[in-house]
């Protein structure tokens, strides 16, 4: 069984890698990702300056998934630029760099710095952090998102991607796709970031479980699987010539299969990776191979995007 994927001129031995934010903040985390059986790795979203992030506790897992309000803790873009500069692209898996500046000017400065180094890493602009008090998600303000993409494309001349929030209305899928289709170098979208501003409650303690924003945080895991699959399928239909990366609710071979069946080119693992560690990649890849073998499939293209309707 062959799990390899070729896209963006890159070769991946497996479609599975980390969701940005999980196992990717420090060089130690990134090296654990690199040494794992993941097919690629993506860094924690970075800002112009280093950030401590929100006060703890800021992450909590339940039986059905996770809530987080990390608040963009990261070492600042220069740390990830150094990692990307020192990365051995010829002998390692593809490297993606997630960027989430606090302002458009910050994003442009960070992207310019990467552009000047002419590195073969792929930039992914995060339009969807739900956890910065007072900062709306750019993906929910489509004119602002369009303006940001226009400014980026004035100078950036390499393929790149964006990380999207989940959309919940068919008109919003249409409006978002109309914006993304204006940009040729925007080669992929990653669907989805966490479902923003959920609230997990501990009955015994009669309390919220995380400190920031009076307990509000981004939801991941089982809770979000149907929403992530819908976003993947709907953007695959609306973005011809672009790719969609699936992210949300993947904890076994079955969910990875679902994302690819819905049309995802590759599949990211977030909550499950946080809870299980990088061993999750071996397990999920084996489960995906077993499922494909049972169905008579030998490669991902045999079923990608072939979801049936009734």
Question: Residue numbers of the site for ligand RRO (CB under 6 A)?
Answer: 21, 45, 68-72, 100, 126, 128-129, 131, 193-194, 218
Paired tokens of 17: 């890698």
Closest approach of Cβ 268 to ligand RRO, in Å? 12
235 in Cβ contact with 189 (< 8 Å): yes
Cis? peptide before 51, omega within 30° of 0: no
Catalytic residue, chosen from 121, 129, 247, 272, is 129
Closest approach of Cβ 129 to ligand RRO, in Å? 4
Residue 129 appears among annotated catalytic residues: yes
3 versus 225: smaller Cβ distance to ligand RRO: 225
113 in Cβ contact with 150 (< 8 Å): no
Closest approach of Cβ 186 to ligand RRO, in Å? 18
71 versus 253: smaller Cβ distance to ligand RRO: 71
22 versus 33: smaller Cβ distance to ligand RRO: 22
70 versus 149: smaller Cβ distance to ligand RRO: 70
CA torsion sign for 51, 52, 58, 63 is positive
Dihedral-angle region of residue 87 (phi above 0 means left; psi in -120 to 50 means alpha; beta otherwise): beta
HSE value, Cβ hemisphere, 13 Å, CA-based, for 106: 16
What is the rounded CA–CA span in Å between residue 80 and residue 220? Answer: 25
Backbone angles phi, psi at 238, to 5 degrees: -95, -10
Closest approach of Cβ 150 to ligand RRO, in Å? 22
Name the β-bridge partners of 243. 188
Catalytically active residues, by annotation:
129
């Amino acid at each position: 069984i062959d799990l390899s994927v070729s896209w963006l001129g890159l070769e991946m031995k497996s479609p599975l890698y980390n969701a940005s934010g999980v196992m990717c903040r420090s060089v130690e985390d990134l090296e654990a990702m690199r040494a794992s059986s993941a097919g690629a790795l993506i860094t924690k979203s970075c800002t112009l300056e280093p950030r401590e992030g929100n006060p703890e506790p800021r992450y909590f897992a339940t039986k059905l998934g996770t809530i987080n309000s990390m608040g963009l803790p990261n070492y600042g873009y220069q740390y990830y630029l150094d990692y990307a500069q020192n990365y051995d692209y010829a002998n390692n898996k593809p490297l993606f760099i997630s960027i989430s500046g606090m302002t458009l000017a910050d994003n442009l400065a960070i992207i310019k710095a990467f552009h000047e180094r002419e590195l073969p890493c792929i930039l992914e602009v995060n339009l969807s952090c739900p956890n910065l008090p007072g900062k709306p998600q750019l993906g929910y303000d489509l004119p602002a998102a369009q303006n940001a993409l226009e400014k980026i494309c004035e100078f950036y001349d390499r393929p790149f991607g964006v990380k999207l929030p989940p959309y919940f209305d068919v008109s919003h899928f249409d409006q978002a796709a109309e914006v993304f289709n204006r940009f040729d170098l925007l080669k992929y979208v990653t669907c989805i970031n966490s479902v923003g501003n959920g609230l997990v409650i501990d009955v015994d303690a009669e309390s919220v479980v995380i400190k920031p924003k009076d307990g509000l945080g981004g939801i991941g895991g089982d809770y979000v699987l149907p929403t992530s699959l819908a976003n993947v399928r709907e953007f695959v239909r609306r973005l011809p010539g672009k790719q969609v990366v699936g992210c949300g609710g993947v904890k076994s071979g079955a969910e990875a299969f679902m994302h690819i069946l819905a049309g995802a080119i590759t599949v990211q693992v977030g909550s499950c990776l946080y809870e299980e560690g990088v061993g999750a990649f071996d397990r999920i890849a084996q489960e995906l191979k077993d499922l494909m073998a049972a169905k008579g499939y030998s490669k991902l293209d045999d079923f990608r995007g072939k979801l049936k309707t009734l």
